[in-house]
Structure 1
Amino acid sequence: MALGADRYTSRVDTLVFLGCLGLSLTAMSLPPAWRDPIASVMRQTILAPLLQLQRESELLRTSRSRFDAITAQRDSSALAATFLPELRAENERLRGLLGLGQRLASGYAPAEVLHQAAPTDPLALVISAGRREGVRPLAAVVSPEGLIGLVSTVDARTSIVVTWANLEFRASAMAADGSVYGIVAPHGTEGPGVWLLELQGVPYRQLVPVGTPIFTSGLGGVFPRGIPLGTVIGVAGETEGWERTYLVRPAVHPSAVTHVMVLLGARGGGDLRNPAVRRTDKYRFYFVLALLAALEFTVRSRLGDQRTAPDFLLLALLIYTIRTQPGKAAAAGFVVGLLRDALTPASFGAGALATTVVGYLSAWGKAVFFAENLFVNACLFFCGTWVRNLVIALASGKLRGGQLGWELLVWSPLQGLTTAVTGVVVLWVFRRWVHVRVREA
């Protein structure tokens, strides 16, 4: 998401910011005779749906707790008796794919294997990734257990993978310690070794013990170095004085694979996991903001000490402000702060002042200083929470001495930390939905 110079503060943004500051200070100076009726009207109108949602959430949690427990026990028993073993196996494979994706240095495209009801299915597989995902011919195809094969034909949405069981398959290989090199090929098409590999071209003087893991060596430029091929199980044959051939049990059988990854590397083209921003994404963006606002009134009260629980409403505000202009950010901060002040009339106006400042500074600072990465966003969420609490504490004048010190040095940093962690999780889970500028939307 590019951030251009148009995000810098304009005269209109400054005027809006100053206007919101003036309104916040005016709200703080209102006498109780005026302040309380205004807060009451806001609670009975704008905030009424959210407060009703919070009440219903608490009622649902208390009145249906036993029903939920019984339902969970029944469902757990039924699931364990029927589908749980299969789901666990599938979950382990998907976890393996996720872990493999994090270890890969090059790009990759995940795909499902579309098995066919044919005897030759293990020799050539159809996968659900093609040219649109950046797949190219001769790309390596792997699973968490090891090498499957390489891409031979690429269509728009599917590809054909020649597996290691195909008689034409060859791969440069090595032992785990790099002491032995050779060529891995299918062992044959008949007999008990039909689904085995063989390591060819090993010098006669070099012995490969049974149980030695075999990996791709990276020679030849087709397969990256270090992909598991299998394990040595014995000697297949030897030419006295020249070379030995070893039997290798494959790391994975093609017919047992359901999900794979296609290594794109330098040949990788477009990646559909990072699509261009569409205009319809703005609706998803606002859905995320609405979800965070709902969590503020339904979940936050169940997260322990309210002084350290993440502030979902402030998080929604910050996610919005770092994607819009400073003037709009200040106005949004004023509205959010004023609505929250209606729930805490003792510091009426202080919250509006604090969120106005935080919203304006986050939008301005994002355009000037901050890069697009999770760590910097986490720092922004932490600082925004702490500054908001600082302004409220000072502007309200309700905290003094030790109370003020504890708030600024203990409780506010802890709340900033939980809010930052929650923000990182939200940005990662909804990364496609929040990767949009509000002005462009």
Structure 2
Amino acid sequence: MSFFRRKRLFTILLSLVILVGLIGFTIRDREELSSVEEFIQDTVGSFQNVFLRPVYYVVGVVNSIDEMKNVYEENRVLKENLSTYQQKLYEIQELTKENEEFRALLDKTETITDYRPIQATVIARSPEDWFEQITLNRGKQHGVEKDMAVITANGMIGKIQSTAQFSSTVLLLNGFDRSNRISVNVDLPETDNDARGFILGYDAERQQLLLEFTDSYEDIPLEATVFSSGLGGVFPKGLEIGSIEEVTTDQYGLTQIAYVKPSADVENLNHVIIVDRTLTTRDEIVEGESE
């Protein structure tokens, strides 16, 4: 072995010994670092501060974007669930309302003993008279005739204006005028008699019916019930129409009039009853049962 090779091998061995010594010296517990160690630590710290901070910033931005995507997706799912919940809640409310309406109509049907009730459903409103006419899914084939009264569980809403074979048109109370007047009685609790008059039209501004009395009456109470008298042969007797809101006189001070709040809501109609004014006699009932 040549001299240079021996020298190289010796140098390597000496370097390994020094390195091992330095490693052992640096890993032992000490309170202070050497100058070389401090220099290395400061250099590494500066390197991390300069080069790693942008990396951490980019990683933070990427994580924030991922979190925003997750929040957006969760928000979208929550909105879909909320929309579905609201739709189900609306359907439940509508079904509950319809069920209550059917129950009220059934109770009303059972109270009509002298007339044949015809159940009907509103299928349309006339475009030219949106608030004055409705179309029902019952017509001549179901026994519906012109001028039959139409009611809900709350009260009278109008009369049959025209009929087809399987449908009919109803003129609502807010479309009535003097040519469609209704003979009515007003309940007077303090007396044995009722006040009499006619429904002659509808005050659109007040959204109330106009009642004209045939005589002058004293002490007509507010909220007194107005119902059909049965006179004239058009409307059956005893159908509730509304209640007295105000009693006054006409513009000339000669005729006593009253404003009547309709009992039924003519703007929200789904199911109604057509009242067949033909009286059902006991003989007809017995005959029908025998058949």
TM-score (norm 2): 0.59
* Counterpart secondary structure, 2:241: strand
The aligned runs of 1:53-72 (5 Å cut-off) are none
Task: Tell me which residue corresponds to 1:145.
Answer: 154
Task: Tell me which residue corresponds to 2:225.
Answer: 213
The aligned runs of 1:341-420 (5 Å cut-off) are none
| CA distance in 1: counterparts of 2:208 and 2:86, whole angstroms | 40
| CA distance in 1: counterparts of 2:202 and 2:277, whole angstroms | 29
Give 2:103's match in structure 1, choosing from 91, 95, 106: 95
Unaligned stretches of 5+ residues in structure 1: 1-76, 269-371, 374-434, 436-441
Change (3 A) 1:206 1:242: farther
Task: Tell me which residue corresponds to 1:175.
Answer: 186
Task: Tell me which residue corresponds to 1:107.
Answer: 116
Task: Tell me which residue corresponds to 2:201.
Answer: 186
Task: Tell me which residue corresponds to 2:241.
Answer: 229
Q: CA deviation at 1:117?
A: 6.9
Query: RMSD over aligned Cα, in angstroms?
Result: 2.8
Where relative contact order (Cα < 8 A, 6+ residues apart) is larger, the structure is 1
Q: Deviations over 1:141-179 (max 9, x none)?
A: 111111111112110000011111114331111112442
The aligned runs of 1:3-402 (5 Å cut-off) are 81-104=89-112, 105-116=114-125, 118=127, 120-168=129-177, 169-177=180-188, 178-189=193-204, 191=205, 193=206, 195-238=207-250, 242-266=254-278
Instruction: Name segments (4+ residues, structure 1) moved above 3 Å.
Output: 77-82, 236-242
* Identity in percent: 23
* Counterpart secondary structure, 1:157: coil
Which structure: greater helix fraction?
1
Q: Deviations over 1:295-344 (max 9, x none)?
A: xxxxxxxxxxxxxxxxxxxxxxxxxxxxxxxxxxxxxxxxxxxxxxxxxx
Aligned residue pairs, count: 193
Q: Deviations over 1:346-395 (max 9, x none)?
A: xxxxxxxxxxxxxxxxxxxxxxxxxx79xxxxxxxxxxxxxxxxxxxxxx
| CA distance in 2: counterparts of 1:250 and 1:159, whole angstroms | 22
TM-score (norm 1): 0.40
Q: CA deviation at 1:135?
A: 0.6
Q: CA deviation at 1:81?
A: 3.6
* Counterpart secondary structure, 2:219: coil
Q: CA deviation at 1:139?
A: 1.0
Unaligned stretches of 5+ residues in structure 2: 1-84, 281-288
Contact persistence 1:204–1:240 (CA under 8 A): no
